[in-house]
Each structure stands twice: as structure tokens, then as C-alpha cells.
Amino acid sequence: MKIDNDFENKVFHNTELLLKNYRDVVWSLEVAIHNVNKNFYIEYGCDINRFLDMAYDAGMELRGTDIEAHTKSIEKSRNMLRIVDSAVDLLRRKHKNGEIYYWILYYTYLSPQELSNTDEIIEKLNDYLKDISRSTYFRKKNEAILQLGRLLWGYTSRECFKAIEGIYL
């Protein structure tokens, strides 16, 4: 699939970069939550969520504290992952090729355990797309990345603008 303008090229590459880092972000978030909860158990005898509930119930002010900074950082990361997950889900449910795009993105970038190589990914995809070749895999992967990017960053393809112009002329 040829990406024909600078904006879509940036959308593609930013989305691909985000996807390449997805597993690391998920892992980092899990480690951060684990560490914060461990520290809270040591200091306060409960996890951070229970502590925050008790603090709010007691009317404690947490602004400007390390606790506030940790919770905001964790929440920001969680929200970023929710946005990606929501866009992937929307792509899967609503795009005409959504199901295959989902499985390509899942096995390539989103599954908890990274598969060792392209052949292993293609083998997994055979359950959803029979006899997929390497070239088809790479073409469909690029299409899936671009479509996901359009959901994440905005849809601005020339075809869309031409269709809209045709409606209003």
C-alpha cells in the first residue's frame, strides 16, 4: 500500500512506533503499579487504590505530593493504553477488513508474548486468513497500521475529501 502524502506518512510511522513500543509500555505500567502497591503495603498496609479511597474519605489533601505524582503518571499511561485498545477494537468491529487487521496487529504487536519471527506470525494468521503469503502479510500489516493511525490521529485521506466534495457539489 502506497502512502501518498506527508501527513499519512507521519501517521503511519507514528502509529508503527507506538505499536512497536506497546508491549514495553504495558510491561512498564504493570511494573510501576506493582511497585507502587508494594510500597503502599509496606508503608500503609493497603494498596494505592484503598489508600486513595481512605484519603479522600478522610478529606486528605494530596496535591503536590509524590502520591499524586505517582497516581497521575500511572493514570496517564493507563489512559494512553485505553485509547490504543479502544481504537484497535473499533477497527476490528467496524472496518470492512477489521477482523484480519486485528489479528495481524495482535500477533505482530499486541499479544502479551512477542512471537519470534514473521513466519511464526503468518502461521498463527492461517487460522484467520488461509494461505497468507509473506508479501500479503506485509501489505495487510501496513494497511492495518495506517487504518489504526487514522483512528488515532485523524482520517484525512484524499479519497475521503473527494467523496465529501462530491456530496456537497
CB 91 within 8 A of CB 102: yes
More confident residue, 85 or 71: 85
* pTM score of the predicted model: 0.79
Q: Is the pLDDT of residue 29 over 70?
A: yes
Cell numbers for 33 = 503499579
Residue 10 CA to residue 60 CA, distance in Å, equals 45
* Average pLDDT of every residue of the chain: 87
- The predicted pLDDT at position 155 comes to 63
Would the pLDDT of 139 be above 80? yes
% of residues, the chain, pLDDT over 90:
49
Mean pLDDT of 38-58: 84
| Alpha-carbon torsion (142, 148, 153, 157), positive or negative | positive
- Identity of the amino acid at 9: N
The pLDDT tens digits for 140-169 are: 999 999 999 999 988 655 555 565 566 655
Domain ranges of the chain: 6-168
